[in-house]
Structure 1
Amino acid sequence: MELKDERYRGEVNIEGRRFRAAPFALLARSWYDRLSAGCGVAPDARGAAAMSLIGFLRRRLLVRRVIVLAAHLVLYAAAFLLAFLVRFDFSLPETYARQIAWGLSLAVFFRTVFGLAFRLYGGVLKYAGIGDLVNIVKAMSLASVALVVAVVILGIKDFPRSIFLLDWAASIALVGGLRFGLRIAREALTAPAAEELEGRRRVAIVGAGDAGEALARDLLRGYRDRYELVGFFDDNPRKQGLTIHGVPVLAPIIYLGDMVPRRRIQEVIIAIPTASGEVMRGIVSACQIAGVKFRTLPGVDQLLDGAISVNLIRDVAIEDLLGREPVHLEEGELRRFLRDKRVMVTGAGGSIGAELCRQILRFAPASLLLVEQSEPNLFFIHREMTKRRKDLPVVPLIADVLDRPRMEKIFAEHRPQVIFHAAAHKHVPMMEWNPGEAVKNNVLGTKTVAELAHQFEAEAFVFVSTDKAVNPTSVMGATKRVAEMFVQALAQESRTVFAAVRFGNVLGSVGSVVPIFKEQIAAGGPVTVTHPEMKRYFMTIPEATQLVMQAAAMGEGGEIFVLDMGQPVRIVDLARDLIRLSGLTPDRDVRIEFTGLRPGEKLFEEIGFDAEKMDKTRHPKIYTGRLLPVPRAHIEERVRRLLEAAASGDPARVRAELRAAVPEYQPTEAAPLPAPAPDVSGEERVLAQAGARNTPEGLPAAPRAAPAAAEPQTAGALAGTDPQGSEAPARPRGGAAGGEGERAAAFGAAWEKFAALCRERGFAGAAWKTMGMKPADQRQEFFNGDGAHLSSVTRSVAVTSLLFIELRFFYRNESGKKPNPEIKQAVRDVVSRISLDLAALHRVV
């Protein structure tokens, strides 16, 4: 006896004879084999018994189908006779006996044939649905057309024409009635008893659209013993007062708070898969105000097959409140890019790397190479990949990207064609404490893999970068920027298509803010936030990886792609949303504590470049930056010096070399927090320390004046804020008089250079104004005349995370139109040449 893949092929092979079997027959055969083996039954005896079992099941299935077919034959005959009875007032005239006999035979024959064609006799009648009704209408309509044609061809005279229509309607009614009658009977017989209905949970559905209807149908059909559907809430005025499956649409969503106690609603299910973040926030707020539990269906991007069921209901997640639009991929382009290719993912066990592997599997690569240093992470992602696709070679490779001989052996053996390089150190504070390791992993690791991709002539290399590489203030961001520069330089002399992709924070990644907040909330708080005004860009992990793949498929070589991250989110708002989603109240049940900026952090991240330095691509969420590549020899020398500094173990030397390699890198280091006064709020304390965040290494922190003994200390008494709580710079180092003089001199020198550059580029005047510093530094100069009838362009340049200088360029505009391309280019040139001088002013602020 031989069993061949019976669960997948629907076949059993017993002693050389192959049988087709239904799934329940295969399952019975499997159970029988196990039971007989456990009882010590010989294989030959088992084979004979199995043949008997299969034969019995097949005979039973045949008998069932014969009964179903016979029932339909009776219904077809009854429908035809009923049509004649209706036509002749429920009497069958003898003069039409010949027409009845011929018509009955033809009608039953054609309806039986088309019923077989549309598989009307193979389904389970008591589970009939709309699809079955559609097939019945199609089969009966085609049978009626065939009947008309046959009557005409055979020349059956005096055949009543109304019979064709009456027979068609009667056959649909009877055949459909049989199915839906059995379904109604089944539901009535299986309905829960009255005592079982008493403990049901009363639920309401928000959203009376297609998703809400499908969910209500599933609830009413399969979960009536557990849930009692009270009604729908929907803002569409045309749906108010209507019923869906007998359940009323109660009111708009805004009235949910009034209806919950009146209707004794215990739970609300949000069934709007396409809802934006703003809409979800409103619904969640309404549920929280009403004090009712709420859950939701997944978003439309997570409903892969479009099926709606109760099993998909889950708790509302923070991703739902952010409301990221689903990504639309160029499936054909990605299939061309990845199909039948050997694809390597470094850092495959990390959050981004693992999701890249999941997305890549969809496009049927020839093989998937998982490169990961962590053995546990590699084990889990390899197990998941092999479970998803048993037919695809998934190769687990424990390797460190810094180990060039090991990586070279992997490249030589597997010859990857497409490489996604996601291996990196990503935690900003951790890399501030270990700058040498950041250089090794992020710079040397990228260099090693990129050079091997070039050496072994891979088709494409994609470097996963970060928004922290834009004007970096952290070691992590600076090392990512150096890696970008190396990839760009290598792209200029390689046949391999090299590209980098920048994006911001991803929700739920390992070590990110969301899991940390959840852990703190579960522990009862406090939830720690660095600054009340801290903002970050967020996207979901699937969205980020899908856009990385899309950008990679679009790359031609040397691009730095930037993803559209949407609007930044305040971290404190994110924390409050997570607390509310946990059923708690911020600042009452769980306290939020502000801890101050950590080393290397910014108040906000810059995802890309100046808007005028960004180019659109054919994908609406992907841009490219106009960054000119540096010569490879130059970046090679910078990398060599960086690696020497990293090997020395001297953090100051590493930062100095990073500053030399990345001129826009402005390292920051947090100063210790002052002891808070009893009557100063957490937010005021952090705002008060804003001026001390950028104290350069090796210089003393700004002195702070002690408050008067007779007066309580206020936020304005702390260095860095005025009495109204606005930001002000820390007192200058080296004494008030000397510090003010040094600052005035530095600002004066920067202004003179700015004005000279404006004159050189032909502007009619220049002005600037500081924002975030008191007293503000405001200057203006017109080079020819008093500035009347001049147009202007304004740009902002950051000095620190909280201090900006607004630059204004005056020019003559005879036409009164917007600035022409020459003016825009002149503005860009001046801004690029003055930016470093203005950024250096942070030392005197």
Structure 2
Amino acid sequence: MKILLNKSLPKWIVLLIDQLIMSWSFALSFFIIKQFHFEEIMRGHFLVYIGLFGLVSLITFYAMRIHTGLIRYSSIYDIYRIFTAVLIASLSYGALIGLWVAPVHGIDSVNIYLVLLISFFVSSTLLTLVRMGAKALFLFFKRGGSGERERVLIYGANGYSILLKQALETSDTGRFHIAGFLDENSNKVNKNIHQIRVYHIDDIERLQQKLRVDKVLVFADDLKSDNQKLFVERCVELGVKVLTVPPTEQWMSGQLSMNQIKDLKIEDLLQRPPIVIENDRVSSDLRGKRVLVTGGAGSIGSEIVRQVMSYGPELLIVCDQAESPLHELQLEMEEQYPGTKMAIFIGDITNSTRMYSMFKEFTPDVVYHAAAYKHVPMMENNPCEAVLTNVLGTRTLADLSLTFDVEKFVMISTDKAVNPTNVMGTSKRIAEIYIQSLNNLNQGKVNGNKHPYKQVTQTKFITTRFGNVLGSNGSVIPRFRQQIEKGGPVTVTHPDITRYFMTIPEAVQLVLEAGTMGNGGEIFIFDMGEPVKIVDLARKMIKLAGLIPDVDIPVTFTGLRPGEKLFEELLNEEELTIPTHHGKIKISKVRNYSYDDVVNDIDELMQLNKTKDELMVVRKMKQIVPEYISKNSRFEELDLQMN
């Protein structure tokens, strides 16, 4: 049976069947007009009439290529073409009879126009029924009979929803049965579209029971609206599973693949309306430039690479230590942007000799510094490595940017640098202070007797600060997903812990925009939206998986990890913000630091770091950043000693 289903009828057989139907319909209509008086019919010119009609019909159908379509995929458009072909054949035949056969040959023994009228309705109906019947049989056998299918509702009652309905109905798998459309437009509610009822979205709870609905299908684009998100949240609470469908322009070859229908992810619910940036300004800032991205194999760094590449840089230099991710990123970029030059540079940002050779070889115009250690508990246990990479690595790259006259140096920082409670956040704050002091030195705001370079350049040093990004390596969401797949428990550190979240693409968009508008010395703060309670996030992810929290999957609390705090902040208490032309970006006003003082502190910190005396290293970090108060950490004793 499968072999037969995968084959299609030859085109000449389809054409033959169509002509048999056309000829039979004409003959039946002829007999009806003659009231089935066969002797009179045969004495007349029946054979001439039907022979000529068959010839005209054959030429018309062949010219319009009615026989070339696959019957199993017949649509409304195919039916329209059939009606058109039958109409053209009938009108052509009527004109031929009236202008040539009857007057020239004197053959006019029947009301041929009435025959054509009856024949038109009979043949067009039969041709349509054959195609619809063949399509129904194909789908029936393809789906293995009338097996149980998932009953679903489609969110929305518009043209895209109708396209989705048709795609699902013609799918080979026959996985879904469309139980109805959902809409909030009162003009559509309680009406039928393509024989499918439209219900109000507020009736979802009633419909869940009445229609035995398993799932709701939602276009992914719709999730960016607050109204749609509220509806989806309600579905999740009711236990109605939500599936997302990509926009129609992303359907493969115009056909929706069942593999493109995905379970709703928590990232979909956390997305906000798309961020609009001034692409022209970003483009003019990056086009034709030599751009360096450190940490290019990481979550943020790789997205910076993707977005910068779209602006047509002269050369994109990607630096990281991770060989395999770099290789994958290189293949991806070569496939998407075959004409753009890209250089992969494997190296450790704390290796000044290696970094110097990179700057000397490629002489970048713009640097996006995303390389850093970022995991709080891990850095709490390895503070010397956090200082080495996040402080010394940043200092090395920033100094080289001055040496090689880089136009802009954009550092990717974190909200954990604000009132830090851990080593990682403090190391990033020290890096922020250092590059700000360099920028102040360039602008003559502070003294710089210890500056190692004779000629001070006009490099602009800019910091961007934001919170957690969705889907980044090691973030909480992939961790929860793995725990749910294993059957739980889902572990949360504390019932009150909250975090800010932003998608990786929108974070990078704002980084590029901030880099463009920056004049040097600013710390740009991104609007992260509303903070999210992590336990609510965990429970919602369990529900999205079709399970019940604390029944199917337990949620347990493990206690705050070393260095972790309940609430993240984007600003120190002493900092003020200034709005920019972009509503999602603000500038933090912070005090200026003397370059000489900062260098003295960092030099001492690096000397202590060489001793590997972690207590002395962290003590010095607390002296540099007085607001650093350890939480849930072995370094809390230092706060007691220093107070």
TM-score range, shorter chain: 0.7 to 0.9
Is 1:351–2:286 an aligned residue pair?
no
Aligned to 1:385: 333
Aligned to 1:518: 481
Amino acid paired to 1:449: L
Aligned partner of 1:219 among 168, 172, 176 = 168
Note if 1:321 corresponds to 2:284. Answer: no
Partner of 1:385: helix, strand, or coil? helix
Shift of 1:310: 5.2
Alignment match, 2:178: 229
Q: 1:293 aligns with which of 224, 236, 241?
A: 241
Change beyond 3 A, Cα 1:182–1:349: farther
| Partner Cα separation in structure 1 for residue 192 and residue 426 of structure 2 | 60
Residues 717-759 of structure 1 show CA distances to partners (whole Å, capped at 9, x for unaligned) of xxxxxxxxxxxxxxxxxxxxxxxxxxxxxxxxxxxxxxxxxxx
Match of residue 574 from structure 1 = 537
| Structure 1 residue matching 2:348: 3-state secondary structure | coil
Separation of aligned partners in 1, 2:183 and 2:351: 59
Aligned CA distance change for structure 1 residues 326 and 698 (closer, same or farther; 3 Å): closer
1:538 Cα deviation after fit: 0.6
2:223 partner SS: coil
Assess if the C-alpha contact under 8 Å between 1:507 and 1:540 holds in 2.
yes
Gaps of 5+ in 1: 1-119, 134-180, 672-693, 701-839
State whether structure 2 residue 195 is matched by structure 1 residue 246. yes
> Aligned in 2, Cα 1:513/1:331: closer, same or farther, shift over 3 Å?
same
Question: Equivalents in 2 of 1:183, 1:651: separation in Å?
Answer: 82
Matched, 1:504 2:445: no
Which residue does 2:603 correspond to in 1? 640
User: Is the aligned partner of 1:408 residue 2:356?
Assistant: yes
Matched residues in 2 for 1:418 and 1:182: separation?
67
* Greater displacement, 345-354 / 608-617: 608-617
User: Which residue identity lines up with residue 696 of structure 1 in the other structure?
Assistant: E
Question: Does the aligned pair in 2 maintain the 1:669–1:696 contact within 8 Å?
Answer: no
| Aligned twin of 2:559 | 596
CA distance in 1, matches of 2:268, 2:205: 21
Give the Cα separation in 2 of the matches to 1:588 and 1:411. Answer: 57
Structure 2 counterpart of 1:432: 380
Q: Does 1:614 align with 2:584?
A: no
Instruction: Name the structure 2 match of 1:669.
Output: 632
Tell me the secondary structure at the aligned position of residue 605 of structure 1.
Answer: coil
* Structure 1 partner of 2:590: 627
Amino acid at match of 1:406: R
- Does 2:637 align with 1:696? yes
Preserved contact between residue 505 and residue 538 of structure 1 (Cα < 8 Å): yes
Q: Please tell me whether the aligned partners of residues 339 and 363 of structure 1 are also in contact (alpha carbons under 8 angstroms).
A: yes
Shift of 1:359: 1.6
Q: 1:125 touches 1:183 (CA, 8 Å); kept in 2? A: no
Matched ranges for 1:470-509 at <5 A: 470-492=418-440, 493=442, 494-509=457-472
Matched residue type, 1:202: R
* Contact 1:207 1:272 survives alignment (8 Å): no
Alpha-carbon separation, structure 1, partners of 2:173 and 2:556:
46
Count of aligned pairs between the two proteins: 519
In 2, the alpha carbon distance for the partners of 1:618 and 1:304 equals 37
Per-residue deviation at 1:601? 1.5
One-letter amino acid of the structure 2 residue matched with residue 384 of structure 1: E
Percent identity at matched positions? 41
8 Å contact kept, 1:447–1:483: yes
Equivalences for 1:676-715 in 2 at 5 Å? Answer: 696-697=637-638
1:797 equivalent in structure 2: none
Task: Quote how far apart the aligned CAs of 1:415 are.
Answer: 1.4
Once the two structures are superposed, what CA deviation does each residue of 1:414-465 show, in whole Å capped at 9, x if it has no partner?
A: 1111111000000111111111111110011111111111111122111000
- Structure-2 change in CA distance of 1:581 and 1:277 (3 Å): farther
Is this contact kept in 2: 1:280–1:323, CA < 8 A? no
The residue identity in structure 2 corresponding to 1:667 is S
Q: In 1, Cα distance between the equivalents of 2:236 and 2:539?
A: 13
What is the Cα deviation at residue 644 of structure 1? 1.1
Contact 2:241 2:544 in 1 (8 A): no
Q: Give yes or no for contact 1:128–1:183 (8 Å, CA) kept in 2.
A: no
Q: Say if 1:278 and 1:321, in contact at 8 Å, map to a contact too.
A: no
Q: 2:206 aligns with which of 247, 258, 268?
A: 258
Q: 1:368 touches 1:394 (CA, 8 Å); kept in 2?
A: yes
**One-letter amino acid of the structure 1 residue matched with residue 192 of structure 2:** T
DSSP 3-state at the match of 1:237: coil
TM-fit CA distance, 1:252: 2.0
- Asked if the contact 2:139–2:170 (Cα under 8 Å) also holds between the matched residues in 1, the reply is no
In structure 1, the partner of 2:85 is none
Could you tell me which residue of structure 2 aligns to residue 714 of structure 1?
A: none
1:205 Cα deviation (Å)? 0.5
Distance 1:266 1:584 in 2: 14
Deviation sequence 1:143-175 (CA, Å, 0-9, x none): xxxxxxxxxxxxxxxxxxxxxxxxxxxxxxxxx
Matched residue SS, 2:187: helix
Aligned residues of 2:619 and 2:638 also touching (Cα < 8 A): no
CA distance in 2, matches of 1:661, 1:698: 13
TM-score (norm 2): 0.73
Give the CA deviation at 1:667.
Answer: 2.1
Tell me what 2:117 maps to.
none
Contact in 2 for aligned 1:208/1:233 (Cα 8 Å): yes
Contact 1:277 1:322 in 2 (8 A): no
Where does residue 499 of structure 2 map in the other structure?
Answer: 536
AA aligned to 1:317 is K
Amino acid at match of 2:509: Q
Deviation at 1:186, TM superposition (A): 6.5
Q: Is the 8 A contact 2:384 2:612 kept in 1?
A: yes
| Change in 2 beyond 3 A, CA 1:351/1:626 | same
The higher relative CO (CA closer than 8 Å, separation ≥ 6) is in 2
2:398 paired with 1:450: yes
Q: AA paired with 2:338?
A: K
Q: Name structure 2 gaps, 5 residues minimum.
A: 1-63, 81-125, 443-456
Aligned to 1:331: 279
Alignment match, 2:368: 420
Counterparts of 1:464 and 1:304 in 2: how far apart (Å)?
36
Native 8 Å contact 2:419 2:572 kept in 1 = no
What's the secondary structure of 2:563's corresponding residue? coil
Quote the offset at 1:577 in angstroms: 1.1
Shift of 1:611: 9.8
Given residue 237 of structure 1, which amino acid in structure 2 is its aligned partner? S
Contact kept? 2:237, 2:543, Cα under 8 Å? no
Q: Cα–Cα, structure 1 residues 283 and 615, in superposed 2: closer, same or farther, change >3 Å?
A: same
Residue 319 of structure 2, aligned match among 371, 383, 388: 371
Equivalents in 1 of 2:461, 2:289: separation in Å?
17
Shift of 1:259: 1.9
Aligned mates of 1:355, 1:548 — CA distance in 2: 11
**Could you tell me whether the CA contact under 8 Å between 1:212 and 1:272 is conserved in 2?**
no
- 1:668 touches 1:696 (CA, 8 Å); kept in 2? no
* Residue in 1 that maps onto 2:88: none
Q: What's the secondary structure of 1:273's corresponding residue?
A: helix
State the alpha-carbon separation in 1 of the partners of residues 384 and 421 from structure 2.
16
Structure 1 residue runs of 4 or more that deviate by more than 6 Å after TM superposition: 124-130, 181-188, 302-308
Distance 1:501 1:186 in 2: 61
Structure-1 separation of matches of 2:234 and 2:577: 41
2-structure distance, mates of 1:622, 1:285 = 28
C-alpha distance 408-284 of structure 1, shift in aligned 2 (>3 A): same
Report the Cα offset of residue 332 of structure 1. Answer: 0.8
Q: Does 1:467 align with 2:415?
A: yes
SS in 1 for 2:221: coil
How far 1:666 sits from its partner (Å)? 1.6
Aligned-residue offset at 1:599: 2.1
